[in-house]
Amino acid sequence: MLSEHELLARFHDYGQIHGGELYLAGTAAHDFVAACQENEIAVVGIEGFTGDKRLPLLDCIADYSATSADTWQDFCRLCNKYSHEFLAAQPLDQNMVFNLVTMSKDEWCV
């Protein structure tokens, strides 16, 4: 299992770093969510941006941190399912990138 830090490092070359944050294009963002699921990490938030200056897209924001589940595995599965669905609904725009917010089991248990 990879940690959140290791997973971010793994995807570093597939995205862009801006302000210390990783931004991924559509396909890489989908792959990141799949890798999170494989490593029991939940994607609890997504923000979409466009342009070189990373202008926020206000209609491209998702927050799954309040998802209700009895177990970590269910919470993780639901958040990642919703994240995949959200990303799939976004237009295929080469100038669009996503910042994904993750949560580990340890953070969820607090």
Q: Is there a contact between 48 and 96 (Cβ–Cβ < 8 Å)?
A: yes
Q: Which domains, ranges and CATH numbers included, belong to the chain?
A: 4-104 (3.30.190.30)
pTM for the full predicted model: 0.93
What is the per-residue pLDDT for 62?
A: 98
What are the tens digits of pLDDT across the range 39-75?
999 999 999 999 777 899 999 999 999 999 999 999 9
> What stretch of H or E contains 60?
strand 55-63
Q: Evaluate if residue 104 carries a pLDDT over 90.
A: yes
Q: Is 30 left (phi over 0), alpha (psi -120 to 50) or beta?
A: alpha
Which has more pLDDT, 110 or 10?
10
